[in-house]
């Protein structure tokens, strides 16, 4: 079908747009026809475009293509090599461009998948919402607190589906953990900890520069966007995570995954109250502003959370919830709940300093209140229980499928911009504390992070 033919979904979009566009849509650059809320009729394919087709952009493109009822129609990237990669993964001819606005102008795009560096997430999300596109935006949702709120506004004002790309929100393992947490089986959970560590150059984002990278093959000025102007630097282009102008370092890259899981499991719907970080650049010392080790203690109303990312030692990704009745651990795709031994026991420690007579009387009294069970009265003591995702399970596909379902049904996404804002703000707080060497406090009333 070419752009001049109008099918059922475009007819719906156009007629709704005609009613609403004049009064309520304040467009940036894209055309008004696309600006009204509309869905993809049941049975129609969700036609999507990828914006940013680097490592993650290609990963989520492939995930989207594995979801039922989807079709890729276009891709945008700033580097020729990645446009070639996008065409290869698409497996069919698609429209490609270095200007994402050309994607938003297209009538045949229902949704965009944004996997650019962090400093472009907000701008493209806002423009895409204004253009009537639904948005899957990679984590961390925002580069600043202000951007996070602007993205929520864009989602709400333009009535778009916005889903953030921290895939553990759709994981069956985390869903089970949430169920266990909510059941009270862990008792009162006052402490949570998680870490995600790596020990190689790739983990530290010291990626190789492709040999054909140059100002001829890369649109450097577009990469910079609103970041400070500087001359072409392939290190900044390909290792952008190391620089604060474009990325959020370890908190944005890895904390957000852990935070997304913990917010989901523990039912957290707001940023933490306070954050205190320490860390440093210990080993990956060249061309880097972001620490290669960071440790943060977060204050949430009902528990305290310790997060760590270390790029100088490999260990399994793990999160642990410490409750008065049990400990829950998620290590990679395995969830284990280990009950605490809460059976009544006589005091053994402090009575060691009592005289024999008092010790004996105490223990006799205790036994009177806690008689040994009679034969036939014994009950089982619960022990550790484990749950594991089946082989080949990929929560990335479930997460993308949830997005596609929201696009069709117009039901809110499982990880919408409000959810993404809360975890992104936690990451921003961790960075604020690290770089300002202070305790970071979240001021909800004024929507800002401040020094405690």
Burial class (CB in 10 A: 0-12, 13-18, 19+), 402: buried
Q: Is residue 76 at the binding interface for ligand NAD, with CB under 6 A as the rule?
A: yes
Of all residues in this chain, which one has the CB nearest to ligand NAD in the complex? 54
Nearer to ligand NAD, 167 or 171 (CB): 167
Is there a contact between 416 and 164 (Cβ–Cβ < 8 Å)? yes
Closest approach, Cβ 35 to ligand NAD, in A, equals 21
Question: How big is the chain, counted in residues?
Answer: 452
Nearer to ligand NAD, 79 or 434 (CB): 79
Cα(253)–Cα(293) distance, rounded to whole angstroms? 13
Closest approach, Cβ 225 to ligand NAD, in A, equals 6
Task: State which of residues 118, 134, 415, 416 lies at the interface with ligand NAD (CB under 6 A).
Answer: 118
Residue 251, classed as helix, strand or coil, is: helix
Whole-angstrom CA distances from 102 to 74, 128, 135, 438 are: 10, 11, 16, 43
Task: State which of residues 89, 120, 174, 298 lies at the interface with ligand NAD (CB under 6 A).
Answer: 120
* Widest distance between CA atoms in the chain: 98
Sign of the dihedral through C-alpha 60, 61, 66, 72: positive
Q: E strand or H helix at 128, and its extent?
A: helix 121-130
What x-and-dash track marks residues 44-73 binding ligand NAD by CB under 6 A?
Answer: -------xx-xxxx----------------
Nearer to ligand NAD, 76 or 297 (CB): 76
Closest approach, Cβ 32 to ligand NAD, in A, equals 23
Nearer to ligand NAD, 274 or 288 (CB): 288
Q: Is residue 138 at the binding interface for ligand NAD, with CB under 6 A as the rule?
A: yes
Q: Is residue 420 at the binding interface for ligand NAD, with CB under 6 A as the rule?
A: no
Task: State which of residues 17, 25, 74, 78 lies at the interface with ligand NAD (CB under 6 A).
Answer: 78
Is there a contact between 100 and 127 (Cβ–Cβ < 8 Å)? yes
Nearer to ligand NAD, 118 or 292 (CB): 118
Q: Is residue 293 at the binding interface for ligand NAD, with CB under 6 A as the rule?
A: no
Is there a contact between 60 and 400 (Cβ–Cβ < 8 Å)? yes
Task: State which of residues 10, 77, 197, 415 lies at the interface with ligand NAD (CB under 6 A).
Answer: 77
Peptide bond into 140 cis (omega under 30): yes
Nearer to ligand NAD, 222 or 411 (CB): 222
Nearer to ligand NAD, 254 or 275 (CB): 254
Instruction: Mark the segment that binds ligand NAD (CB under 6 A) among 177-185, 217-225, 326-334, 355-363.
Output: 217-225
Cα(122)–Cα(417) distance, rounded to whole angstroms? 11
Cα(196)–Cα(427) distance, rounded to whole angstroms? 14
Q: Is residue 203 at the binding interface for ligand NAD, with CB under 6 A as the rule?
A: no
Q: In which residue are the tokens 């229902």 written?
A: 110
Q: In which residue are the tokens 């001819």 written?
A: 93
Instruction: Mark the segment that binds ligand NAD (CB under 6 A) among 64-72, 165-173, 292-300, 421-429.
Output: 165-173
Cα(17)–Cα(56) distance, rounded to whole angstroms? 33
* Residues contacting ligand NAD: total by CB under 6 A: 26
Peptide bond into 224 cis (omega under 30): no
Can you state the angle between helices 55-66 and 395-409, rounded to 10 degrees? 70
Nearer to ligand NAD, 363 or 389 (CB): 389
Is there a contact between 287 and 195 (Cβ–Cβ < 8 Å)? no
Cα(81)–Cα(93) distance, rounded to whole angstroms? 16
Closest approach, Cβ 128 to ligand NAD, in A, equals 12
Map the footprint of ligand NAD across residues 218-277, applying CB under 6 A.
222-223, 225, 253
First to last CA, the chain: 58
Closest approach, Cβ 221 to ligand NAD, in A, equals 10
Q: Is residue 165 at the binding interface for ligand NAD, with CB under 6 A as the rule?
A: yes
Cα(336)–Cα(328) distance, rounded to whole angstroms? 6
Q: Is residue 127 at the binding interface for ligand NAD, with CB under 6 A as the rule?
A: no
Nearer to ligand NAD, 70 or 423 (CB): 423
The site for ligand NAD (CB under 6 A) is made up of 51-52, 54-57, 76-79, 82, 100, 115-118, 120, 138-139, 165-167, 222-223, 225, 253
């Amino acid at each position: 079908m070419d752009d001049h033919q109008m099918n059922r979904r475009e007819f719906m979009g156009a007629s709704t747009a005609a009613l609403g566009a004049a009064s309520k849509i304040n467009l940036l650059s894209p055309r008004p026809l696309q600006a009204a809320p509309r869905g993809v009729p049941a049975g129609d394919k969700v036609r999507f475009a990828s914006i940013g087709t680097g490592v993650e952009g290609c990963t989520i493109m492939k995930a989207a293509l594995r979801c039922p009822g989807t079709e890729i129609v276009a891709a945008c990237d700033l580097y020729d090599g990645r446009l070639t990669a996008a065409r290869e993964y698409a497996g069919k001819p698609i429209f490609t461009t270095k200007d994402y606005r050309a994607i938003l102008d297209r009538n045949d795009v229902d949704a965009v998948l944004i996997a650019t560096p962090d400093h472009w997430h907000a701008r493209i999300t806002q423009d895409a919402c204004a253009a009537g596109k639904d948005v899957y935006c990679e984590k961390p949702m925002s580069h600043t607190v202000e951007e996070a709120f602007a993205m929520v506004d864009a989602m709400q004002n333009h009535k778009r589906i916005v889903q953030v790309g921290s895939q553990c929100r759709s994981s069956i393992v985390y869903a089970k953990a949430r169920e266990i947490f909510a059941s009270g089986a862990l008792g009162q959970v006052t402490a949570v900890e998680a870490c995600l560590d790596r020990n190689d150059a790739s983990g530290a984002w010291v990626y190789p520069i492709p040999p054909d990278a140059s100002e001829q093959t890369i649109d450097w000025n577009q990469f910079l966007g609103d970041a400070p102007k500087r001359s072409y630097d392939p290190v900044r282009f390909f290792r952008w995570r190391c620089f604060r102008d474009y990325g959020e370092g370890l908190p944005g890259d890895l904390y957000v995954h852990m935070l997304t899981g913990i917010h989901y499991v523990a039912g957290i719907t707001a940023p933490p109250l306070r954050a205190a970080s320490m860390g440093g650049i210990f080993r990956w010392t060249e061309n880097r502003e972001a620490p290669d080790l960071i440790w943060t203690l977060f204050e949430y109303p009902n528990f305290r959370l310790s997060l760590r990312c270390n790029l100088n030692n490999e260990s399994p990704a793990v999160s642990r919830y410490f409750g008065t009745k049990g400990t829950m651990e998620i290590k990679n795709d395995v969830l284990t709940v280990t009950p605490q031994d809460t059976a009544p026991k006589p005091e053994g420690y402090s009575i060691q300093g009592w005289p024999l007579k008092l010790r004996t009387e105490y223990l006799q009294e205790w036994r009177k209140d806690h008689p040994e069970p009679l034969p036939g009265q014994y009950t089982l003591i619960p022990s550790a229980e484990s749950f594991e995702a089946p082989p080949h399970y990929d929560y990335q596909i479930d997460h993308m499928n949830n997005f596609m379902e929201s696009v069709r049904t117009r039901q809110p996404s499982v990880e919408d911009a409000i959810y993404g804002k809360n975890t992104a703000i936690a990451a921003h707080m961790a960075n604020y504390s690290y770089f300002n060497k202070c305790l970071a406090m979240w001021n909800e009333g004024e929507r800002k992070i401040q020094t405690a």
